[in-house]
Structure 1
């Protein structure tokens, strides 16, 4: 951990920034990707029992997470409109409720492990392939899942399955063979034999011109004519295992990747003229070196390549030659992963199956500082730590339990963390360090919580994700007492993604996944819904409130930042979209406000920390009041006159996989980040390619 002094554009702008780099989570392999055009949602399954839902309407961000039963292993996922389906190795075909984030229907077509799934173009039928070679067609019409057809059994597991563009034919890949089926009759039309019987067909694509493209375990990509089952072309694009194939909407770009080497290779469909004949061939076009370990799944969405594999990092690259950008999204846990006890300089870190408590380091004392720090804005200098960080304790849960939230009280007397099934609260004592878990005489209202907040008044606040009820508790010596519950569900019907309580427990601000931000006013046990902020067309990615000041600051997925006055009900600051250009790649994921200077906004993405300053020339009379019914950011509306952006970017600091920033003191910040090397350290050594001229 290092400590950096950072200068901001104010006299009190010198900050110490403690970089916490000892937070390391294990990579969670990406197994399957599926995209819904109607909802612009990317579903992502991992080797752990979760399905992540990423919003791609603007800048990609993790919107919601579906937690699966323990030891569930989703092998493939598919969308039918806004309906999400998955198959797993337990033999279950499951439809998921993407609003309530729970299972909707379950069907077991064969009783054997299911490896593959596809939806026909009309989105009326689903095909699934099993371990024993069974292929089932199920109808998903009338908002149900019903059995329709069982194909003739084939030898070997069905690892990949694809409908053609008409929906009348089905193509399957197994060990040694590619088969074309008649969907109506369930019989084989053609069987194509690979060069060797032990070759495994890992991936398939069926194009609108009746072309079949297959990737196999020998590293070959083979093109077939589906009409007469003849081979058109074959080329070895990798040394081993082409796990994934994808094509763009125009079907003129073919993207493939796999194990050795883990490169993303792009081919372009090109017309070849030879004498009087003309034919189309796939020609090498581009290559992207985006992963160090094998790639398991690929998608092409609007000329952007989405890839994921063993390293668990969702990577986005371009399929066009002139755009060589690369953005990577590490496998973070949804929600806050860090909590601070400011008085004792303690940091609580959340992991999937444990929470770790650390004491932060302290800076060696410096000589008397000069009255003026005559250094340019954005200058940084490293300082030595007199005391290194120290790990104090680790609290574990069973491997099949997932910790969805955790927090430590500001006075460092309490630690509370919640799994999906139970909530645990412990009393923390120092000198000597002791942790005592409370198990007796706990109130029944102490239920699992998606958000845990300790207020400055000493209360414990829990949000129940099942009903969006906010429960308040008082904490005394070894005693937890229930106070009251606030029902947020009338205004926030969907999953609440962000929750903020003002420093004096006067306001509650909650943002839900359907782009609604609601505010409640508290007065003792009495509460009332105050207002809803104008609904934004982009999702909320960060939320914060000024200390001792009734203004809420919101960051949206389109890079826009707004500040709203809850008393006067007006926007006091608003930026244009993508004021920070980098927010086109990574959304703003956190906001830290300066209690000494309300004009300073510190925001961060996954890769950068930014300091913004309010434009001083703004006149409060220029602010525009906005009604509840008017949607924010539809058109070119701005809440400040003269086209002013409201904020200006002053400086930025680059980081690697930044997950948390919080304030330790008025002039000290703590940021928690994960280095790529530490993230990939538990994995086997990456594949090394021989390069020309290297010894």
Structure 2
């Protein structure tokens, strides 16, 4: 199309042998060459001036969904439903007094498990993403790959240091782990295991095997050392319990009390509070019981939650209000105070909720912050939490 006139300049037919072909992605090069990826798994180069095909390659067994071109236009990558990433390089051949260019397949890489939907080349690195949920960085040469997994919003974990418990949050379930123990020498120093760096066997892999992440110390040469260090364990971590959300709904927030006694989580439709009985954990790690606690005075869901240091008070944020709940290990939790945004707080939606430890004077502080940089501090006056100070904002 001519952008100025709005008229079609060239029409290119991609039908093959009277079979309908769907073009899923295109790229335009500075020499007026059009690159297309279609439903037949073909990468095709076209002369946009006359609308003729220059060359075509069957690169994949299924649809090609994405194409990426390097900044110097000497490298092209393509991938799609068949997650193999094909790399083409541009070569120049002299024919008489003329120099002709040709695109040649270079390497194929298998670094995704499912459909690849997006490709981008920047600073000599290829960024790829798709159905498997990983944002993947790769290059060749040197040949390396690094995957960045999708991270659910914070908070993603909670720790009970007293009992060495770790609460991990996943999309629709929670896991409680008992952390292991590490060895120390007679002088009290940590004992370290030396692990030989993982040998790179990328060149030995074929396209039927997915490439593994390159070892971190091979990428950035941490501390310029040729070894990996790890603590020597005398007790391995153990998963104690897995808790699934009601109807497998996505969990919005979760927290474990500092005593390791209570677990709270919220989905988009309901809230749950559980009591975790770990009294006999040292004797029998399989003797774990989980019971449901009653929550009184709550309506709606929750997006932030925190416990006081004594694990007897819980503060949660819901629909622009802070709810303070008193926790009875037997009777459950009851709302004893509600702090609304239009009365005490200047913010109605928060992204941070922190509860301080009790100060030497016996005071406990609640700190909330919103996306606009407003930070409010409330203090316990022995009866209820009241506004204490609004921290200044700086440009």
Both proteins in one fold, TM over 0.5: yes
Task: Sort the Cα spacing of 1:449 and 1:251 in 2 relative to 1 into closer, same or farther, 3 A.
Answer: farther
Query: Is the 1:259–1:293 contact (alpha carbons within 8 Å) kept by the matching residues of 2?
Result: yes
Gaps of 5+ in 1: 1-163, 170-180, 534-627, 630-695
Deviation at 1:307, TM superposition (A): 0.8
C-alpha separation between the residues in 2 aligned to 1:495 and 1:224?
A: 53
How far the C-alpha of 1:521 sits from its partner, in A, is: 5.3
The one-character-per-residue Cα deviations of 1:458-485 (angstroms, maximum 9, x if unpaired) are: 2212233x54x44322223324123132
Matched pairs, number: 341
Which of residues 59, 70, 74 is equivalent to 1:237?
59
Which residue among 431, 443, 452 is the counterpart of 2:298? 443
- Does 1 or 2 have the higher relative contact order (CA < 8 Å, sep 6+)? 1
Q: Distance in 2 between matches of 1:168 and 1:398?
A: 56
Correspondence 1:472 to 2:331:
no
> Which of the residues 203, 213, 237 maps onto 2:35?
213
Contact 1:199–1:217 under 8 Å retained in 2: yes
Distance 1:373 1:425, change over 3 A: closer
1:520 aligns with 2:374: no
Equivalent residue, structure 2, for 1:500: 354
| Structure 2 CA distance for partners of 1:215 and 1:393, relative to 1, 3 Å | closer
Q: Distance in 2 between matches of 1:168 and 1:266?
A: 36
- Contact map agreement 1:258 1:294 (CA 8 A) in 2: yes
- Map 1:177-256; keep pairs closer than 5 Å: 189-194=11-16, 197=19, 200-207=22-29, 209-248=31-70, 251-256=73-78
Q: Residues 412 and 165 from structure 1, CA distance in 2 versus in 1: closer, same or farther, beyond 3 angstroms?
A: farther
Q: How far does residue 284 in structure 1 lie from its aligned partner after superposition? A: 4.2
**Correspondence 1:373 to 2:373:** no
Verify the 8 A CA contact 1:474 1:483 in the aligned structure 2: no
Aligned counterparts of 1:490 and 1:268: Cα–Cα separation in 2: 60
Contact 1:165–1:207 (CA under 8 A) maintained in structure 2: no
The alpha-carbon deviation at position 417 of structure 1 amounts to: 0.8
Q: Is the 8 A contact 1:354 1:397 kept in 2?
A: no
SS of corresponding position for 1:347 = strand
Q: For each residue in 1:583-640, what CA deviation from the matched residue of structure 2 results, as whole angstroms up to 9, or x when unmatched?
A: xxxxxxxxxxxxxxxxxxxxxxxxxxxxxxxxxxxxxxxxxxxxx33xxxxxxxxxxx
Aligned to 1:389: 238
Are 1:472 and 1:484, in contact at CA under 8 Å, matched by a contact in 2?
yes
Using the TM superposition, give the Cα deviation of residue 406 of structure 1 relative to its aligned residue in structure 2, in angstroms.
1.2
The match for 1:108 is: none
Aligned counterparts of 1:324 and 1:531: Cα–Cα separation in 2: 49
Deviations 1:4-54 (A, max 9, x none): xxxxxxxxxxxxxxxxxxxxxxxxxxxxxxxxxxxxxxxxxxxxxxxxxxx
Match in the other structure for 2:266:
418
Report the CA distance between 1:216 and its aligned residue. Answer: 3.0
Structure 2: segments with no counterpart, 5+ residues = 194-227, 280-287, 359-363
Q: Is the 8 A contact 2:327 2:334 kept in 1?
A: yes
Q: Does the 8 A contact of 1:165 with 1:208 survive in 2?
A: no
Match 1:462 to one of 308, 316, 319? 316
Pair 1:315 & 2:167 matched: no
CA distance in 2 between counterparts of 1:479 and 1:375 reads 44
Q: Deviations over 1:425-450 (max 9, x none)?
A: 334456782412426x4334xx3222
Q: Which has the larger radius of gyration?
A: 2
**d(CA) in 2 for partners of 1:194, 1:339:** 58
TM-score normalised by structure 1 residue count: 0.42
Write the deviation string for residues 387-429 of structure 1: whole angstroms up to 9, x where unpaired: 8625335233224x21111112222333211112322233445
Quote the Cα distance in structure 1 between the aligned partners of 2:277 and 2:238: 19
1:93-131: CA deviation from partner (whole Å, max 9, x where unpaired):
xxxxxxxxxxxxxxxxxxxxxxxxxxxxxxxxxxxxxxx
> Residues of 2 paired with 1:379 and 1:222: CA distance?
49
Shift of residue 528, structure 1, vs aligned partner = 3.8
CA shift digits 1:162-184 (9 cap, x unpaired): xx794987xxxxxxxxxxx959x
Q: Distance in 2 between matches of 1:314 and 1:421?
A: 30
Matches within 5 A, 1:237-386: 237-248=59-70, 251-260=73-82, 262-284=83-105, 290-301=111-122, 303-318=124-139, 326-358=145-177, 360=178, 363=181, 370-371=186-187, 373=189, 380-385=230-235
Secondary structure of the structure 2 residue equivalent to 1:398 = helix
Describe the shift of the 1:244–1:335 C-alpha distance in structure 2 as closer, same or farther (beyond 3 A).
Answer: same
Kept after mapping to 1: 8 A contact 2:134/2:148 = yes
- How many angstroms does 1:508 deviate by? 1.6
CA distance in 2, matches of 1:472, 1:197: 66
